[in-house]
A and B are shown apart, each in its own frame.
Chain A
Amino acid sequence: MIAELATMLDFGFMQRALAAGAAIALMAGLLGVFVVQRGLAFLGDGLAHASFGGIALGALLAYGFGNAGLLAQPLWVALPFTLVAAIAIAWVRDRTELASDTAIGVAFAVSVALGVLFLSRIPPDRAVVDVWHLMFGSILAVGPDELRIILITAGLVSATLLLLWSRLAYATFDPELATTDGIRVRLLDYGLFGLAAVAVVVSAQVVGVVLMAAYLVIPAAAARLLTRSLARTTVVSVAIGTVTTVAGLVASYAIDVPSGSAIILLQAGLFLIATLLRPR
């Protein structure tokens, strides 16, 4: 594996894929611990599909306004669109007794419906959004500009999560106890959903909806099975995400399989092993 890694690092696209994968593994590993522990495993999928609606709206606006300015890049429309969806999910949870998955399911369905509607307004020969790429992405196709955006986003999101970790962990353990100790739990909830939206929309654009959803859930779930404290769960979650990214990219280079599939299957393999090794 070391020899394969050394050879593949000669390629710029592989260097970028590794850097992007490691950045996403760090950000999603930190986020995923809270997502999984709060029973929000569906959130990654929901927000990733919400970003589909946003990207489609961005593409429609770009088509309508002739690719002018920021509109030339659908990300700048997808980002606020997905943020609004995330805040709406948190708001419905907050205002009603509905379970999180129900609120996420509604946002998911509405966003996909809007996405399809927006895309239907663009003539096929003028389409700027490749739906297949959006769903499955390709970490090997990360360009220098996309890598820069991912590194900046991952840096900011990860730093914020680390800064808020002890408060988020306390609010995750017991929101009522955390509130009695002066923690602003509701604000943290909205913040967590907002950070998840930013992480998902930026990453899903590059690595695809499916891979991003996997990054957000599988490493944290496997880590949860192997550890007895949330701090250790967090460290192991980031480690699993990073190791499977490197191993998945090496495998994809060595045996010519799709990189996203290789990463997800390796994560799933570790999850299975964690399930079998789980201390009883």
Chain B
Amino acid sequence: MATVPALHLHHVTVRRGEVEILTDVDLDLPPGRFLAILGPNGSGKSTLVKVALGLVAPDRGHAAIFGVDAGDAPERIGYVPQLKTFDRTFPATALELVVSGLRRRWPARVPPRERERAVAALADVGAEHLARRSLSRLSGGELQRAFLARALVRRPDLVVLDEPATGVDFLAEHDLSRLLERYQEETGATIVMVTHDLAAARHHASDVLVLNRVVHGFGPPEEALARDCLERAYGHVGHDHGPVIG
């Protein structure tokens, strides 16, 4: 019997007004893979993730997660949004943030059992010491860990990250990829990560999707990150001082 794909996109087209953001995107990602989605700014990467999460309804085609319509299996997904969209004035501690991932509701109070699980999730990402800290006082890297703990606390089968490294330094991004790999080893989960980092995609992903409105490459990094795929997506792959890719 064929395995149900962790992520299935079938002829997905999304329009905003007259502009097509995504055109006829097809994708089948088997469970247990680590997919990096790459593309220039405005290429439809975040829109693609939102279609997969059920946040954006495609104008044509459909999306499914583990064989269920997008948006209908929230308990199987852990989502790390772009940190730049987060409202830093919201009064909350890192612990409450993680418990919200556990409960899928915002906690008014945190009972000891949930506290234990949330602190353990923070410890897994090296952020146990942040539990009582206000979100407004966390650095970009600390916030990233808190949001990752929130996404992983309910042990999801699919982890979706939308440019999680925006606003954090190189080391924080490297740590993030290592944490994701460790989680994947432990659980066999599927990872889908939107990134701008070609090196991270090359070193950590099992599959890469190169996107700019349409799919320009999909497969193992050595195939999808080939020069011709990147040139089609980005228009160019380097400057006079040398190519971006090796």
Contacts and interface: CB of A to CB of B under 8 A. Distances in A.
A96 to B, nearest CB: 13
Contact of B93 (A170, A176, A228): A228
B85 interface: yes
Contact of B87 (A173, A233, A234): A173
A181 interface: yes
A174 B77 contact: no
Contact of B104 (A172, A182, A231, A232): A182
Contacts of A166: 103, 105-108
B54 A180 contact: yes
Nearest to B160: A180
B166 interface: no
Grouping DSSP codes into helix (H, G, I), strand (E, B) and loop, the B interface class, with mixed when no group exceeds half, is loop
A37 interface: yes
Nearest to A224: B91
Interface in B82-106: 85-87, 89-93, 96, 100, 103-106
Interface string B29-71: 0000000000000000000000001110000000000000001
Nearest to A173: B90
B79 interface: yes
B87 A227 contact: no
B162 to A, nearest CB: 9
A177 interface: yes
A181 B106 contact: no
B134 A230 contact: no
Contacts of A229: 91-93, 96
B90 A37 contact: yes
A93 interface: no
B90 A172 contact: yes
Contacts of A160: none
Contact of B86 (A37, A165, A174, A234): A174
B81 interface: yes
B120 to A, nearest CB: 20
B240 to A, nearest CB: 40
A173 B105 CA distance: 11
A179 interface: yes
B100 A180 contact: no
A169 interface: yes
Interface size class of chain A, counting residues whose CB lies under 8 Å from the partner chain: 20 to 34
A167 B76 CA distance: 19
Contacts of A174: 81, 85-87
Contacts of A224: 91
Contacts of B106: 165-167, 169-170, 173, 230
B203 interface: no
Given A166-B106, A181-B74, A231-B109, A176 B90 contact: no
B85 A230 contact: no
Contacts of B92: 173, 228-230
B207 to A, nearest CB: 22
Contacts of A37: 89-91
Contact of B90 (A180, A181, A183, A230): A230
Given A177-B81, A181-B74, A165 B108 contact: yes
Interface string A143-179: 0000000000000000000000111011011101101
A132 to B, nearest CB: 37
A180 B108 contact: no
Nearest to B78: A180
A65 to B, nearest CB: 47
Interface string A14-52: 000000000000000000000001000000000000000
Contacts of B89: 37
Interface in A212-240: 224, 227-234
7 contacts: A165-B108, A166-B107, A169-B108, A170-B106, A173-B90, A177-B81, A177-B100
- Top 9 A-B pairs, shortest CB-CB distance: A169-B106, A166-B105, A170-B106, A181-B104, A231-B108, A182-B74, A180-B79, A166-B106, A180-B53
Given A37-B89, A229-B96, 4 more contacts: A166-B108, A169-B108, A180-B74, A181-B74
Interface of B: 53-55, 71, 74, 77, 79, 81, 85-87, 89-93, 96, 100, 103-109, 134
